Chains A and B, each alone.
Chain A
Amino acid sequence: MTVATKERKLTIARAMAEAIAQEMRVDERVFVMGEDIGPLGGVFGNTRGLHEEFGSERVRDTPISETAFMGAAVGAASDGMRPIVELMFVDFFGVCFDAIYNLMAKNTYFSGGEVQVPVVLMTSTGGGYSDAGQHSQCLHATFAHLPGMKVVAPSNAYDAKGLMTAAIRDNNPVIFMFHKALQGMGWLGTEKDAIVHVPEESYEVPIGKAAVVREGNDLTIVGITSGVHHGLKAARQLAERGISAEVIDLRALVPLDRATVIESVRKTGRLIVVDEDYQSYGVSSEIICSVAEQGVPLKAAPQRVAYPDIPIPFTPPMEQWALPNADKIVAAYELMEKHS
């Protein structure tokens, strides 16, 4: 006998807000601050309802002063609070990175572990809607490169809630990257597959554990956030040709679950990495290198489908041409086969 479970589909935005609210209800130390996260509910909807429930002491609109409030998050966390702080667009990190990578990421180390900095920094990533190069970047590698911060980035609402809960409970700084096109805000052209069933009760998705979101035997496609959805679409296209692709959602960049990727590539012998961040010195090269270092036998040279090394252009023909998509993954597979 099967028990029908009622589907409760949420957007990533709703899932994030739910996780935050649930943690705020049980832990007085948790609070949120950032620009427009109060009565407005966040430009990307991820703090909707929080101000109404918790008030302006614990859900604090800040001045447009990222340097000050990122620094303040570090100071508050070191003093026993658990701030969730929003950097509205990841592109804005340039005005406040000192507080992030020199303080948030290093104070624990420089105090020999005596000082804990349990900050969740949530920030929007990604393009595809003609916002040009100061509001469309992903910058996965920029954050993941610098030691001392965990970095997570969900591709769907289930993971978003579980990763947010885990991030808030973590005693280390966690960068929580959410991709605008997956957020469930209609005006950003939502990816429907990101809206999935989310249990009402609180739960954690462990930070640093990748998920095999589609099993296959001929090819491994590794992605994060939007890259996972492109990978799944490409896998469906390839399946029509009888090619069985496995798709891995990294879910976190730090710690990076290399084992899951390596295990998959040992099985398939083929690897394509999809990343909306800039190609050079990025996530895609780290993944390919991690496989190469282990001497995993390969049937073809690995490929990457990433953003070209250019500032993100405004005009739709240019931007859409530059973005990763399923067709590019299929083309990369064809190239692999041609050369193998």
Chain B
Amino acid sequence: MKPSRDQKIWMYEQMHTSRYFEECIEKIYMEGKSPAFNMAKGPIPGEMHLSNGQEPCAVGVCAHLSADDIVTSTHRPHHVAIAKGVDLNRMTAEIFGKKTGLSGGRGGHMHIFDAKVNFSCSGIIAQGMGPAVGAALSRHMQNKPGVAVAFLGEGAANQGAFHESLNLAAVWKLPVIFVVEDNAWGISVAKSASTAIEHNDARAAAYGIPGHFIPGNDPLAIFDIAGEAIERARRGEGPTLIEIETYRLAGHFMGDAEGYRPKGEKEALFARDPIPKMRQQLLDDEDWSDAQDQELVARTHARVDAAIQFARDSEYPAPEEAMEKVFV
């Protein structure tokens, strides 16, 4: 499956938005955290897991989804949330802990919910898989269109929830796609030290469903394979497992010294940064100019800057609002 010019530009724009968003968050995160690094300080407190480098996974999959389709994501969710169309102002405000945030500051960066576009994420490994299966079951039972996509990291493939969810989705033949973002590291432990096989797509065979491995962090290859899997699910032919080789250009979280990485790994990853690569592809293969490129970049920056300004300008919730929304 090949993307149209518009789809390519859409993917490219989402990648830029996501990357610039993370770069801004990275800078702001450090405000108030020096000279001594204290996670609780500054306008963005708490853990922060940046998605720099993993943008192709988000855009290659979400290019095939509408707001009506369901996505569950992980503790590293920003790129997927942006590609799924989550309200950027309210998401940013949520990350800042503001009243205007998606949950009024109750969830923060690991608990982003935007019901309007059926997006959610959560902080524990493989946790979104069961809910994705359930959402797919819901669509199946209601005879409503829509597929569910569960994003997960490669470390999640060693969780019980991974295997249980694959089996349940397969035995009930549900419209769900499991997308493994393999960034090679589970915090500091290499995939090779934690996973008995090289690529998790092989595990699909254990549940009698198709499995695909996509090398090279390539948005076009992801678009192709994910598109086929999503179409298959929409036709009612059941789930698919996809593992994508991607790169984590940041640490596991902000403050991670990344001492576990072999020398030169990071430099090699940056040399394969998917964003400049896609820019070149657009210039080479499509009717795309430097001027258009600059305009797109400026547009994404303006959008992100506005979201950050919205978050900064927003009020904090009253502390006692913490007592609300436990039940509805």
A-side residues, CB < 8 A to B, are 28-29, 31, 57-58, 62-63, 65, 67-81, 83, 95, 98-99, 102-103, 106-116, 147-148, 150, 171-172
Contact = CB atoms under 8 A, between A and B. Distances in A.
Contacts of B137: 72, 75-76, 81
B102 interface: yes
Contact of A114 (B70, B103, B136): B103
Among B106, B137, B139, B142, the most chain A Cβ lie within 10 Å of the Cβ of B137
B114 to A, nearest CB: 8
Given A68-B168, A80-B142, A110 B113 contact: yes
A108 B327 contact: yes
Contacts, number: 148
A86 to B, nearest CB: 15
A316 B101 CA distance: 56
Contact of A75 (B113, B133, B167): B133
B124 to A, nearest CB: 6
10 contacts: A31-B141, A62-B168, A74-B131, A98-B127, A98-B161, A108-B328, A112-B104, A113-B324, A147-B326, A172-B327
Nearest to B137: A76
B130 A99 contact: yes
Nearest to A148: B326
A109 B326 contact: yes
User: What size tier do the contact residues of chain B reach?
Assistant: 35 or more
B134 A79 contact: yes
A29 B127 CA distance: 24
Contacts of A57: 141
Interface in B252-307: none
B173 to A, nearest CB: 13
Given A68-B165, A110-B113, A115 B134 contact: no
A198 B137 CA distance: 34
Given A65-B167, A81-B141, A111-B115, A74 B327 contact: no
B328 A113 contact: yes
A109 B327 CA distance: 7
A72 B113 contact: no
Interface of B: 70, 72, 101-104, 106-107, 111, 113-115, 118, 120, 122, 124, 127, 129-139, 141-142, 148, 160-161, 164-165, 167-168, 171, 324-328
A81 B137 CA distance: 9
B239 to A, nearest CB: 12
B130 A112 contact: no
B106 A72 contact: no
Contacts of A83: 134
B111 A72 contact: no
A69 B326 contact: no
B111 A68 contact: no
Contacts of A108: 325-328
A75 B124 contact: no
Given A111-B120, A113-B325, A75 B138 contact: yes
Closest 3 CB pairs of A and B: A71-B130, A75-B134, A75-B131
Given A76-B135, A110-B107, A111-B102, A68 B167 contact: yes
Given A71-B129, A99-B130, A110-B113, A79 B102 contact: no
A148 B107 CA distance: 14
A103 B168 contact: no
A17 B108 CA distance: 41
Given A110-B103, A113-B328, A115-B120, A71 B115 contact: no
A149 to B, nearest CB: 9
Given A57-B141, A99-B130, A75 B106 contact: no
